[in-house]
Structure 1
Amino acid sequence: MYGKRLRKSQDKKIFGVCGGIGEYFGIDPVIIRLIWLVAICCFGTGLLLYIVAAIVMD
């Protein structure tokens, strides 16, 4: 019950979503930010998903 939790990072550029996801999975936040950028540019859903993640995450 007290395992890893998905939280916003204190090392934030906008809302801390990418930093929090990077900390959770042990990945560099820059890679997560690049994935979000590709999702925004190519699919158009990345921005909506980012806003939802910013609202849902602690």
Structure 2
Amino acid sequence: MRPKLVRPRDNRMIAGVCAGLGRRFGISPNAMRLIFLLSCLLPGPQFVIYIALWIIMPNEERYATRY
């Protein structure tokens, strides 16, 4: 069973989006951050997607208390 897609309280750099995605897909948060930074070299809406995930992904503490 995969972990839920939440922004963890620990190991955050900015908003915890990369840490949450890394935890969800079994990748280290630093590797996910590197993938994001490298993807910023390509044209596309990477920053818009990051901000959207920041808004959509719940914090780990709020998620844990709700369910």
TM-score relative to the length of structure 2: 0.72
RMSD: 1.4
**C-alpha displacement of 1:9:** 1.7
Q: How does 1:1-58 map to 2 (within 5 A)?
A: 4-10=3-9, 11-58=11-58
Structure 1 stretches of at least 4 aligned residues deviating more than 2 Å after TM superposition: none
Q: % of aligned pairs identical?
A: 36
**Structure 1 gaps, min length 5:** none
State the TM-score, normalized to the length of structure 1. Answer: 0.81
Gaps in structure 2 of 5+ consecutive residues: 59-67
Separation in structure 2 between the aligned mates of residue 41 and residue 55 of structure 1, nearest angstrom: 23
